[in-house]
A and B are shown apart, each in its own frame.
Chain A
C-alpha cells in the first residue's frame, strides 16, 4: 500500500537474504568488511596506497633519472643559489643539480621499503619470541621478558643508534636491521600478553580436555586469537619505523651513498644545510614523511576499531 510498507518489505527481504547467505564469516573477513566502512581507515589506506603506487611505479612517474645532474640546473648552481621550479623541473633542483621531484618520487620507494621491511622483520621475530615466551612460560618466559625489559629501558632511537654504530660500515641494511631489532621487544611483549590471556581461556582449556597436542594448541588455538593486537601494532609501527629510519639518515648514520634518494637523508643533509636558500628542500621530504606516517597511523587506528570483538555483529 503505502511507501512505508514497501520500504519495510524490502528491508525484510534484505535481512532474510543476508541470513540465508549464511556460510562462514571469519573474524578477519568480518573485520575487513567493517574496515571498508570506517572513514579513518579509508583515509589512511588511500594515503598509503597513493604513496605505494608512486613508490612501485617510480620509474614511470618520475620525470627524470634521480641521480643525473642536469646542465640547465648546474649552470647557475652555487651555495647561495639553488634553482627553483622551471618548466622541465617542477620542484626545481637539489644542491647537486639533480631533479628534486624525481628524487622525492624515488625517495618514496626507498623510505617505504625501509619502513615496511624493518616492520616485517621486527614483527616476525617479535611474534616468534612472544609466542615462545607466552606458550612455554617458566624460565624461558622469564629470560625472554627480562631481555625485552632491558631493550625497552633504552630510548628506541638511542638503541638504534647504538646498533648502527656496532656495524662498522653503515648501509641501508644496517638501518633496516637496527630499526627492526628496536621493534622486536614491543611485538614480543604484546603477543606474550595476549598469549598468556589465551592460555587461561576457556576454549584452550576445552582443547586441552580433548587431548589436542601442545603444538596444535599453540598454533591453532592460542596464536590466531592473539594476533589482532599485534596486527594493529604493526600498522602503527610502520609509521614509527619510517620516522626512525629517517632519523638515522638525518643523523648521518644511514647509507653514506650520496646518490641514494631517501626522505630522511634529503631532509637531514640538504634540507638542513640549505634551509635558508631553498626551504622546500626540507619542507617536501618532511611533509612526505609526516603524510605516510599519518596514513599508517590512521589505518592502524581504523584496524583497531575493526578488529575489536566488541564491534562484531
Chain B
C-alpha cells in the first residue's frame, strides 16, 4: 500500500476573475521510503501540488479537488486542526529559500525546539537538548553555540541544514522538498543533496523532490514525474527516464542539458517558445505548439495518460521512439 496516494488532484485559482487551472488532474503515488521527483519548468504546477498536499493553499480563491490519501486518510477532507497535528509530525517540508524560511528574530535553537514542543509535548530544556543533537546530525559544526544564534548569522548552506533538521525533527514518514537547492551555490547543493539522500535512506522517510533541475533528480529519485502545464506528461523510473525518455518534452529537456560524455562544439538543443505558448489541454496536447514531433492527432482532444513500460506512464500521441534499455 502506498504511503501517499494522490488521485486526480486539481487546483483552480481565480486569476483576474477567470478560473486558472494550475494543477490539472495530477495522480501519483509514493511508497514508504521511496524518493519521487516532480519535475517541470516554472509555472507547471509543481509547487502548487506540494502546497495542496500540505493543505497550505489559502482557502479563499482556490478550489482544490481530488484526493490526497496519506495512510488511507484523505488529507483534503481533514479539519484544519487535524491537518495541523499531522503537518510537521507525519509530513515535513523544506522550502526553497532557507533565509526567508527561518524566523529572523528567534534563535535557531528555539525554532528547532518549537516543533518538538508542538508535536512531542517536550519541555523547553529537553527540546533544546534534542535540537542540539538534530543540528549535529545534519552536520552543523559547534551546534551548542549555533542554538543561540540567529538565522542571519549562519551561512546559506547551514541555514538549509537547519531547515532540514527542523523538517526531520519529528521523524516524519514523508518529506516534501520544494526546490531545496535552488538558492544555494553548486558546491553547497551537492552537500545538501548528499545529506538529504543519507537521511532519507537512513530513516526510511519517503521523499517528494520538487525541482526544475534534472541533475538533482538523477542523483536522488527512484521515480520521476514530469509535469507540463499542470498535468503529468511522463512518469518513469529514473533509469528509464534518463536512458529512454519517450515524451518529446522530457526528451527536449534532457537534450538541453550539457553533457560531459558528448562531443563538444555542437549547439545545445533548445525547446521552441516558452511556457506561455500553450493550448488548453481540452483542445489537445498543451505542448503541441512547441513540440518537434507534433502531428495532426495531437490537436483536437485531450491526450490521455497511458501506461508505459515498467509501471511508467506517458501522455503523448507521437512519442520519441526508443529501444527499451536493458
> Which residues of A are at the interface with B, using a C-beta cutoff of 8 A?
22-28, 201-203, 205-213, 216, 220-221, 224-225, 309, 312
Contact = CB atoms under 8 A, between A and B. Distances in A.
A28 B104 CA distance: 11
Contacts of A203: 100-104
Contacts of B87: 208-211
B107 A24 contact: yes
Interface of B: 54, 56, 83-89, 92-93, 95, 97, 100-107, 114-115, 118-119, 142, 145, 148-150, 152-153, 163, 166-167
A225 B145 contact: no
Nearest to A313: B152
Contacts of A27: 104-105, 150
Contacts of A312: 152
B149 A24 contact: yes
A166 B89 CA distance: 55
Contact of B95 (A22, A206, A309): A206
A207 B56 contact: no
A210 B88 contact: yes
B148 A23 contact: yes
B100 to A, nearest CB: 4
13 contacts: A23-B148, A26-B105, A26-B107, A27-B105, A202-B100, A203-B100, A203-B103, A206-B166, A209-B88, A209-B92, A210-B93, A212-B114, A309-B104
B149 A23 contact: yes
B100 A25 contact: no
Contacts of B106: 220-221, 224
A27 B148 CA distance: 13
Give me the 3 closest cross-chain CB pairs, A-B, nearest first: A210-B88, A211-B87, A211-B88
Contacts of A210: 87-88, 92-93, 114-115, 118, 166-167
B135 to A, nearest CB: 14
Nearest to A200: B58
A211 B100 contact: no
B114 A213 contact: no
Nearest to A137: B60
Contacts of A206: 93, 95, 101-102, 163, 166
B159 to A, nearest CB: 11
A202 B97 contact: yes
A144 B83 CA distance: 30
Chain A at the B interface: mostly helix, strand, loop or mixed? helix
Given A26-B107, A205-B56, A207-B103, 20 more contacts: A22-B142, A22-B148, A22-B153, A24-B148, A24-B150, A25-B149, A27-B150, A28-B105, A202-B97, A203-B101, A207-B114, A208-B87, A209-B87, A210-B93, A210-B115, A211-B85, A211-B88, A213-B84, A224-B105, A224-B106
Contacts of B114: 207, 210, 212, 216, 220
Contacts of B88: 209-212
Contacts of B93: 206, 209-210
Nearest to B107: A24
B105 to A, nearest CB: 5
A221 B149 CA distance: 17
B118 A211 contact: yes
A28 B83 CA distance: 35
B115 A225 contact: no
A213 B92 CA distance: 15
A311 B273 CA distance: 42
A217 to B, nearest CB: 10
B215 to A, nearest CB: 24
Contacts of B92: 209-210
A209 B153 CA distance: 24
Nearest to A208: B56
A312 B153 CA distance: 10
A141 to B, nearest CB: 13
A156 to B, nearest CB: 31
B165 to A, nearest CB: 12
A26 B54 CA distance: 31
A245 B150 CA distance: 41
A211 B100 CA distance: 18
